[in-house]
Structure 1
């Protein structure tokens, strides 16, 4: 069992082989749905599945490494093999992927390690990370009877740096842990990126979604021998809050794929199935304005967020059938999810359950959340003030959104994407000042990767520094404590945030659901303890995908943390996703 890179082709067991791959990120898909998504890839004519490995998902704290449940990469690769398909693994360590912090653990930045470079502390962490992956990857390579045929070094490194010693050390670590399959790099088909992001001994591939002939010509100049491959064929795009839902032309995408395959190139379709940024895993971009990414990672992919074939699926299947057998087996359409409502039966102000959500720490000056070891979600900053006359509260920098309260009354919001740093307080302001701070997603691309979250720098009122802070990082990992408290809470007349509200509902059918969030303001939803992710009336996304495996036939427990206000007191489920308007 061998896989190699020949003078003209990939060679599977010594014979020419064209890679027809599709991206599925195991960490964005419920584990009980992996097999279904992989099978539908094979039914479209693909022979390979590609996945990133999200380091920070496996290692949320230094010293931890989780390969269980939805992070069981070995089980995912075994599911690929069970479908008779091959695998491409991209362990980074940096992945971008519109995933929080580009996959790099937030704790990595605490000791000043120089990321994505040949820096001793960083390389020691990377070495340990890849050693932890070795028991999963090494025995699942094709020459050991497994599905893995390629492993990628770094990710579009030419767009970030050019340090060859860093790439060589990554290669050395991968070989040392037992990776024997060919190693590749990927960069956009731009001369300096292709030159900076690879090494002569690594096989270069490209990332693009259009003008296939032109981009392959550029790639060929930098990879004069061996097979051409687009290892990220962009068939869609991602959305950010406040923008529109991105769609790409089915016909143009199919045409570009046809051009690519006509040239004899191999391909990895990014994404074949995008999935969902469950929990607090979405990334963000900041090129002057901070843009957090939405919960859905549908990506306008051939297989939609719920795993249903789209028009693009069938168009791409037709193109692939011109160059490879696709077989007669086709995926069946899933039944339409039911539409129904359930009442929100109880509500608790956030202020009444703070003792359930963690422990306070005290500080003279503002701490970052990272300095407290709190790497996602929310924290409450509290101090007391006593001001005569008009007052202006100023924070050097907010990352990423702070709701301001005086004696529990809402004053307003300081928002990073609006570049807010100051807000007026009532005249003669006195009492408890609270700032509820939300990390809306860590930047995943560019120089702002790794920046700490929370309130940054100094806080002042009318130019006088504010001292004496108490900070409560909200531990939302055990939302069951709040769910239990909601069982004895009163029924809501209105839902004025920040507040938790609860509902219980039976599933009138089976399979997936779509939760309608259009009547709610901004917040987070859990069902049976599983965090579906964030919602926001800013849009474009108006529904949250609920995977069928997290649901029960009866007695499903829903908890919502509403930060602003809800215009109704019902939970509504609808028969189709609403990912928002598409006007640019």
Structure 2
């Protein structure tokens, strides 16, 4: 642990949190290290202190650290130890929420997809297979957290058990098993739960030995009163003060009024309660990490997780930063230093001067985009151990007819002998279309994000059988899971400067271009006029874009760039009429509704 201080004490008193035996109010903000480029962590943490916060809270995404069982990655953007050390170096405390379920609008709610390869595995309950996997996870994670607890000279003062469990279940044995695993893993700081302040959720989601906290964004006095009914002593805390909201593709961009949010925060702090702002900074669902909701309609979350938070997606102080800072100053010291807003981002265009159809890239790309497998049945992507991104399904049909599936998760573009036939989209409940004749049938299938909330957590992705053509089952399939790490390389070829031979991009295809910059800085890539796909800069997956909106820009963190030559690659699944990448001065997150 690089950033350490003298060991201190933190406990729960009759009415207050106690820091070294003295009453202490937590004024915290949520900052997910996995949604921010690691070279920007220090800047965001510093700005948290300038707003008046004394604590940083973060979830831990199990699936990101352990994409395969038996692995636990802590490199780069997953270096939780470095993140917590930076929090300590700024003089702030930390709250860690390791789940194992986190929701967070994150893919599968943070639960690894491999966890559910065995159908006997339970979900969020005291089931032996599930608990054994959690024990492995905690064995790898908890030493990082335990070493950085406040009683060992670190910043961590609270660790949360599960996440809003009362909205899902009431298995007390499960919660107690999680407590035991945390304690066995060396966690000595107080343990908490969080639930929306209803009698049912607070009763079902907690244990008498765990400190209860609430999650809400309004009516603080009434909701704290409900929380007090279930917890007669100890400090009151809103551990998720919802000061904004997230967006779904195809909907509007969510915002909340600054004055109204500040007034709600003022009411909360006036009551004497502690608070954790959700979010301080939302950040970005880079790559294929976004989650989804499905309460009858499938709604994948957008790449931008701006959340209308006090710090914008790119770390700029927004209106809520200043309004919340003024409120906090009424109840706690606020530094004199203030952050300085950045200049508008550089504006320029890059010609996408090379394009490679997916079909050609599969045949000739090096490194390989993946390996074909042959199956006598229709496999899901999970059956193939392919847990994110795209896959190409292929079969041969003798005649045309109505093609149908049990379910499409989540989007399938259908081609016959290379010509587009149509799209089957989960958000429209599509399961069937007409194939005009016989030939080679291909479906480019996209996992658009695993459900992160509710009973559909842990479900398989891909095509779900039966696959029928006019009622007769199609048995023989070839499937190519696309290696997402190799996607940017598919558009590379030597191009003379100024050459512009690409007139348009007919997807699915890769397109690329190069640009030079003197000094790396944050950029905003406009996707207006593009169809649907992913964009990469220097191999860094910026995330998904979609003409469905609301957002029409992707955030490019400055540390992903280099001085000199940079490369942009787009994997476009639909079409781009004008093959130009435009970088604009500011983000465009879409239309709002009030």
TM-score bracket, normalised by the shorter chain, equals over 0.9
Work out which of the residue numbers 542, 557, 576 in structure 1 matches 2:586: 576
Q: TM-score, normalised by structure 2?
A: 0.96
What is residue 235 of structure 2 aligned with on the other side?
227
Matches within 5 A, 1:389-400: 391-400=401-410
> Deviation at 1:134?
2.2
Q: Is the 8 A contact 2:354 2:493 kept in 1?
A: no
Q: Is the 8 A contact 1:43 1:327 kept in 2?
A: yes
- Partners in 1 of 2:12 and 2:76 — Cα distance? 34
- Partners in 2 of 1:445 and 1:507 — Cα distance? 42
Q: Deviations over 1:184-205 (max 9, x none)?
A: 0000001000010000000000
What is residue 171 of structure 1 aligned with on the other side?
179
What is residue 567 of structure 1 aligned with on the other side?
577
Q: Deviations over 1:457-485 (max 9, x none)?
A: 11111111112100000001133531435
Q: Is the 8 A contact 1:486 1:502 kept in 2?
A: no
Q: Is the 8 A contact 1:10 1:18 kept in 2?
A: yes
1:365 matched to 2:377? The reply is yes
- Partners in 1 of 2:29 and 2:372 — Cα distance? 46
What is residue 340 of structure 1 aligned with on the other side?
348
Distance 1:59 1:571, change over 3 A: same
- Partners in 2 of 1:111 and 1:490 — Cα distance? 51
Work out which of the residue numbers 10, 16, 23 in structure 1 matches 2:30: 23
Q: Is the 8 A contact 2:355 2:491 kept in 1?
A: no
Work out which of the residue numbers 543, 553, 568 in structure 2 matches 1:543: 553
What is residue 57 of structure 1 aligned with on the other side?
64
> Deviation at 1:583?
2.4
- More off after superposition, 62-71 vs 99-108: 62-71
What is residue 306 of structure 2 aligned with on the other side?
298
Between the two proteins, the alignment pairs up a number of residues equal to 580
1:375 matched to 2:387? The reply is yes
Q: Is the 8 A contact 1:348 1:486 kept in 2?
A: no
Q: Deviations over 1:322-378 (max 9, x none)?
A: 000102010111111011101001000000011421100001110000010000000
1:284 matched to 2:296? The reply is no
Partner SS for 1:455: strand
- Partners in 1 of 2:512 and 2:23 — Cα distance? 58
What is residue 70 of structure 1 aligned with on the other side?
77
- Partners in 1 of 2:124 and 2:406 — Cα distance? 28
1:96 matched to 2:108? The reply is no
Matches within 5 A, 1:336-485: 336-355=344-363, 356-387=368-399, 391-426=401-436, 429-485=437-493
Q: TM-score, normalised by structure 1?
A: 0.98
Q: Is the 8 A contact 1:94 1:155 kept in 2?
A: yes
Q: Is the 8 A contact 1:347 1:492 kept in 2?
A: yes
Q: Is the 8 A contact 2:527 2:552 kept in 1?
A: yes
- Partners in 1 of 2:190 and 2:593 — Cα distance? 43
Work out which of the residue numbers 13, 17, 35 in structure 2 matches 1:10: 17
Work out which of the residue numbers 139, 142, 163 in structure 2 matches 1:155: 163
- Partners in 1 of 2:487 and 2:500 — Cα distance? 18
Q: Is the 8 A contact 2:533 2:570 kept in 1?
A: yes
> Deviation at 1:519?
1.4
> Deviation at 1:486?
7.1
- Partners in 2 of 1:67 and 1:357 — Cα distance? 26
- Partners in 2 of 1:187 and 1:434 — Cα distance? 45
CA-based RMSD of the aligned residues comes to 1.2
- Partners in 2 of 1:529 and 1:551 — Cα distance? 10
Q: Deviations over 1:127-180 (max 9, x none)?
A: 110110122111100000000000000000000000100000100000001000
Partner SS for 1:161: coil
What is residue 47 of structure 1 aligned with on the other side?
54
1:519 matched to 2:526? The reply is no
What is residue 123 of structure 1 aligned with on the other side?
131
Q: Is the 8 A contact 2:520 2:559 kept in 1?
A: no
What is residue 146 of structure 2 aligned with on the other side?
138
